[in-house]
Structure formats: structure tokens, C-alpha cells
Amino acid sequence: MLEIALERTARILLVSWEGLNGTAVWLTVSFAAAGVLRNFLSPEFLQRSLGNARPGSILKALASGLLLPICSCGIIPLGVSLYYSGAYVGPTLAFMTATPVTNPAAILLGLGFLGPKLTFLYVASGVLLSFVVGLAGNALAGPELHLADVETPRATSLSNPSVSWRRRFFSGLLWGFGELGPMVSKYVCLGMLLMGLVAVLIPPGFIRDTLGNPSMLSLTGVAMLGSVMYICAVGHIPFIAMLVASGAAPGVAVTFLLAGVATNLPELLTLYRLIGRRTAVLYFVLVTLGALVSGYAVNLILMPDFVPFMDMAASMRSLRLSNYLSLDPSLLARTLCALFVLGMALRPVWSRLIRLFCALAAAFLLLNAQDAFAGSRLDFFESQMPGHEIICSATQDLNDDGQDDLIVIYRVSPDVNRMVVVLTGTDGPVLTNVVPAPVSNQVIQFKNIDETPPMEFIVYGSKGVSAGFAIYRCHGDVLEDLFGENMRDCCN
């Protein structure tokens, strides 16, 4: 029983990793693009173009997403960035629906494998569905229609000519990878994990048999199945074409591709967490129903005289052309990007783990200290600084008197930390002066830099995307900041 559970867990993790590996490059590119566009497109322009409920704004968003070679997972950062920059939820959802459906590589493959008629119906259905999703989003989003307070990047918009394009470019990259990336990546990775669970519970053979024999499952089931799976149109069109050639109804192909390409679990989870529950449910229902209606309409149009497209030469030509338009990175690039996205997703967790480790290490040192003043140092700190949570602490002889002293990093308020040293003197413990401490990821390391007493110590930490360090030394009861790098940016 245990072996079966371990095997299934390994399969779930492997499938999830393969899904992340296949989308991570596009996610990385989209994080960069979203950050740069945020700084080069002024908030006034976005508000004027997409920050309203008029149908024209939906058409503009839909047109801007046409023929971009980006998959449904890769479009998540761009869509979230639009919404957080002032776009209404209708244009945002229209953009996120139209872009993966009208991927130029997928259209070329469709022309070669599915034929011009079925490909035209698929693309036309996708564009129409995108417009309907946008209209319904504006009408039904309620309080999630737009952000009440749109964050405007300070001193980086086009309206400020004094800011160079280089500064705007790199500032945009910092926002894309430092704020948007971690915010989106954790939900994308969780969605990939859920998708791996679905893929293991629903074997590929069942999916193949279901799609190949639509009498086993209605178009509604096909739409539901496609909407939770990650379907890359470029990778699945040849498979769908094979099913259609084997006798599957053409509407099944359109329904499965629309539902699968336009949405998936990572996308739905991200919408739910970063925009709202109403938007995620609305998007899922609209895309699923739209895919179902589109498939049914395609069956009415093409059946019963539909003849599957069979032209091997055209298929090979479209495959070659689509390869030119598709980003096909190496395995190393995909793996590095997947690790990068995973690292951004786990960054908040790593911070908590480091804090937990520091707390456990401090507790172990305090409980197992050999000198008689171990308890008194901590008691003295708590008596002088009552009510403050200890984040990290460490002990070392800092004034060369043969007794360990206590370094404490403690929280003053949710975003403000401070550091102080409890020195063990002949007349009892003494506090040094208080200095600012990093907001997160605090690490204390002892190092005798000049190789003479007393011992110096280094404090590392971060705040948001800023990381830095500082080197300190105790001179009497004064804590001296010798030198460092970016520590001021890591403290409040």
C-alpha cells in the first residue's frame, strides 16, 4: 500500500514538473514583458484604453492579444499586470481568452492538420467567445470590475521625461520578477500540482477513448475536461486531428481545444487568488459554456457530410512553418526557467523556513548554553524590551571577556525590525544601542575579519527584492556599523 502511494505521489510530482517545465520559459518571458510594459505604458493610457466598460475597450484588448505566440499559462502574468495597472476585468479576460486561441503557430498547424474550414471555425469561435467573455465580465464582475486604487509606478511613467528608458526598463524587470513573479508563480505551481493529480487520476487512455468516441461522454463533459487541463494548442492539434480522422465529430475538436487552450487549473487558481472568486467562477463557466456551444454549432454546420482533412504535404508544410514561430528552447533553458519559477513560488515559504530555523537554532543555543548567564541574558532582554517578538538570535563572545553575548533581532511592528546586543558584563547584562535590522530572511554570521579581538559579526537580510548585509563590532557597550552593502534598503 505504501509503495503504491509513493509511486502515485512520484507520478503526480513528475507530471506537475513536466507541465511547469513546458510553460516556464513563456512565464519567464511574460513576467519580463509585463514589468517592462507597466513602466512604458502610462497608467493614463491604460485607463483611457482599457479602464472602462465600453465594448470598444474589449475590442482593443482582444486585438492586442491576437497573433501573439503565447500559451494560456504564459498569458497569466500579462493579464494580471493589465488588471493591476487599471484595466477593467472584461478587457483583461478577453485578452487572456483570445491570445492563446489565436496563437499563430497553432493556426498554421490547424490549417495543415485540421483543414481550412475547421480551423476557421475554431479561430472564429475563439474570437467571438473572447468578446462575449469580456462583455459578461464587465456586466457581472460586481466589486471585482476593477481595482479601487490602482498602483501607479512612481517616477517611471512616460509622463516623466527625466527618467531614462534604461531606468524604466530595469525598474520594470525588477517589478516583474520581484513582485509580480512571486505573486503569480505560487498559484501557477499549485495549479500544476493539482493538474498533475488530475492527470494521474484520469489516465491518458481514458481521455483518448473519451474524445475518440464522443457517444461515451457529451460535449459538456469534453468541455469540463478541457477547461481544467493544460492544453497547448501547438502540441495537441496533431493529436486532435488524428482523433477527427478516426471518426470523432469535428465539434469535439473545437470544444476540447477552446476549453483547454483558453483556460486551465493554474490560470483559474491565479484568477481566484489575485482578482477574485467571482471572476474565476465567471471565467470558468463562460469558457466552458462557450466551448460547448461552439462545438455544438460546428457539428450543426459541418455534420453529417463532414470529411476529415487529409493532406500530408500540407501537414508537413504547416509543421515546418509553425516551428519557425514557436519558441523551442533547449532542455537546459526549460529546466532553468522552471527552477526559477519554482524558486519565486517558494520564496515566501523559504522566508518562513529560515525564520523557523533561526528560532529553533536560537532556542537550542539558549537551552544548551554552558554558562550560567544564558537565562539571565534573555530574561534581561525581555525585561528591557517587553512585548517584542524575537525573530532571530545568536550567541558569541563579542567583547573578548570569555563570556558569550546575545544578539537579538526582534520585531517592533509588522514591517519594522530592530537589533540589539545583550553584553555580559561583570555587573550584569548591558544593552548596546539599538540599530535597524532587515525586514526578512535574517541571517547572523560570526567572522573575525581583522583576525584580532573582538569578534565581528555579519547580518544578512532582505526587504522585497532588495538584499544586503552589514558588518558590526561591539566597542564597549556601543554597537558599531563598520560597513555594508544595501542594508539601508533592507530595513525600515
Write out pLDDT tens, residues 289-307. 998 899 889 888 888 788 8
138-147, 203-212, 445-454: the lowest-pLDDT one = 203-212
Kindly give the pairing relationship between strand 389-396 and strand 428-431.
unpaired
- Highest mean pLDDT: which range of 41-55, 118-132, 135-149: 118-132
Give the contacts of 308 (CB within 8 A, at least 6 positions apart): 115, 241, 244, 245
Q: Give the highest mean pLDDT range of 3-17, 236-250, 301-315.
A: 3-17
Is-contact 473 481, C-beta < 8 A?
A: no
pLDDT class of 434 with cuts at 50, 70, 90:
very high
15 and 109: one domain? Answer: yes
Query: Does 438 sit behind a cis peptide bond, omega within 30 degrees of 0 on the bond before it?
Result: no
Domain C-terminal end among 262, 295, 328: 328
Tell me whether residue 341 is in a domain. Answer: no
Residues 322 and 397 placed together within one structural domain of the fold: no
Higher pLDDT, 166 or 481: 481
Give the closest residue to 11 by CA, choosing from 229, 202, 222. 202
Specify the pTM: 0.61
Tallying the residues shown for the chain, one arrives at: 492
- On whether both 173 and 322 belong to a single domain, the answer is yes
Q: Where are the alpha helices (DSSP H) in 303-330?
A: 312-325
- Could you tell me if 402 and 282 lie in one domain? no
Residue 186 forms part of a structural domain: yes
Residues 129 and 258 in one domain: yes
Give tens-digit pLDDT for 248-296: 788 888 888 888 877 778 888 888 888 999 999 999 999 989 988 998 8
Q: What is the largest CA-CA distance in the chain?
A: 99
| Per-residue confidence (pLDDT) for residue 217, from 0 to 100 | 52
Residue 436's identity, in one-letter code, is: P
Instruction: State whether 190 and 133 are in the same domain.
Output: yes
- Establish if 461 belongs to a structural domain: yes
Model pLDDT, residue 422:
92
335 in any annotated domain: no
Asked whether residue 121 is assigned to any structural domain, the reply reads yes
CA quadruple 384, 385, 387, 391: dihedral sign? negative
Q: Is 404 helix (H, G, I), strand (E, B) or coil?
A: coil
Give 153's pLDDT tier (boundaries 50, 70, 90). very low
Domain-located, residue 204: yes
Res. 133: pLDDT tops 90: yes
> Does 300 lie in the same domain as 384?
no
Mark 171-185 as b/e (b = at least 16 C-beta within 10 Å): bbbebbbbbbbbbbb
C-alpha cell at 404: 558569550
Last residue of a domain, one of 294, 328, 362: 328
181 within some domain: yes
pLDDT of residue 235: 62
Domain count, the chain: 2
Most confident of 282-286, 402-406, 449-453, 468-472: 282-286
**DSSP bridge partners of 479:** 474
- Does 404 lie in the same domain as 259? no
Is omega for the bond preceding 238 within 30 degrees of 0, making it cis? Answer: no
For residues 387 and 249, state if they share a domain.
no
pLDDT of 315: 63
> Would you say 95 and 126 are in contact if contact means Cβ atoms under 8 Å apart?
no
Question: Could you tell me if 139 and 280 lie in one domain?
Answer: yes
Radius of gyration of the chain (CA): 28
Range of the domain at 404: 349-490
Are both 296 and 357 inside the same structural domain? no
Q: What is the pLDDT of residue 371?
A: 44
Q: Is 340 inside a domain boundary?
A: no
Q: Are 127 and 102 in contact (CB under 8 A)?
A: yes
Of the three residues 268, 299, 328, the one that is the final residue of a domain is: 328
